Amino acid sequence: MIKTHTIHHSIYKSATKSFLLILGAVLLFSSPCNKAYSDTKHTIVKWPLSSKLRQSTVLNIVHGTDGMLWLVTLAGVSRFNGVEFIDYDPFTPRSGYIKSTNIVAILASPEGIVYAATRDSGLLVYDKVSDNFNSLESRLLNSNSLSQITAAFSDRSGLVWLGHRNGDIYVYNSRTGDARKYGEKLSGEVSSFTQTPNDDIYAVTKNGDIAY
């Protein structure tokens, strides 16, 4: 059963945002689990296989439910299958094709669907049979709702949230093939989404506003 999410437009200005950041920092560093985390040893090293990427600027990365690693670069999308990279770009006519290299985010839904959200070609979906990213077929995802995507997010129920340059937010449901415009237009370009443990969805704009 798909849980319905609703965006209630409560806008918090910079003072509230600063308070939340300070409160979060206090809770983090005063938490009993913080000591356990700080005692854990982590090592960050350069991934040796990164030199095999077609283009070295990695903009986005996601781990698919099938174990595949998907990376977005300035040249398009690369998929790592554990052995090698498979590249997807607009210059490959058959397998390995993706319509755009102007990619905002690569998403992997809980059902295993992989999406590429683009600024100029809308929401694309990966097809395993053809090994291509194809335009999404939807009754409501028309050229207007797909243009100028600036943020994208796949929530835990499998819904895909799309933020636009003009402040609009659409939610795509892969089970029904529909996309709905949610709430009123925000005050500026949508830049990011996140989901809380209670399944509330937050959206932020480049103007510094937060809506939920």
Which residues are bridge partners to 72 per DSSP?
60, 77
Tell me the per-residue pLDDT of 132-169, one tens digit each, with 9 for 90 and over.
998 876 545 554 556 689 999 999 999 999 999 989 99
The one-letter amino acid at 101: T
- What is the model's pLDDT at position 147? 67
Cβ-contact 49, 80 below 8 angstroms: yes
Q: Is the pLDDT of residue 202 over 80?
A: yes
Q: How many CA atoms does the CB half-sphere of 207 hold within 13 Å?
A: 14
pLDDT tier at 182, thresholds 50, 70, 90: confident
The one-letter amino acid at 112: G
Higher pLDDT, 174 or 15: 174
How far does Cα 175 stand from its chain's mean position?
19
- How far separated are the first and last CA of the chain, in Å rounded? 22
How far does Cα 174 stand from its chain's mean position?
15
- What is the model's pLDDT at position 70? 92
Rounded Cα–Cα distance for residues 5 and 157 (Å): 10
pTM: 0.73
- What is the model's pLDDT at position 187? 87
Average pLDDT score over the chain: 77
Backbone φ and ψ of 152, nearest 5°: -150, 150
- What is the model's pLDDT at position 194? 94
- Integer-rounded Cα radius of gyration of the chain: 19
Encoding tokens for residue 211?
């809506």
Tell me the per-residue pLDDT of 69-110, one tens digit each, with 9 for 90 and over.
999 988 889 888 888 888 898 887 778 888 888 999 999 999
- What is the model's pLDDT at position 146? 60
Tell me the per-residue pLDDT of 44-72, one tens digit each, with 9 for 90 and over.
767 666 666 777 788 888 999 888 899 99
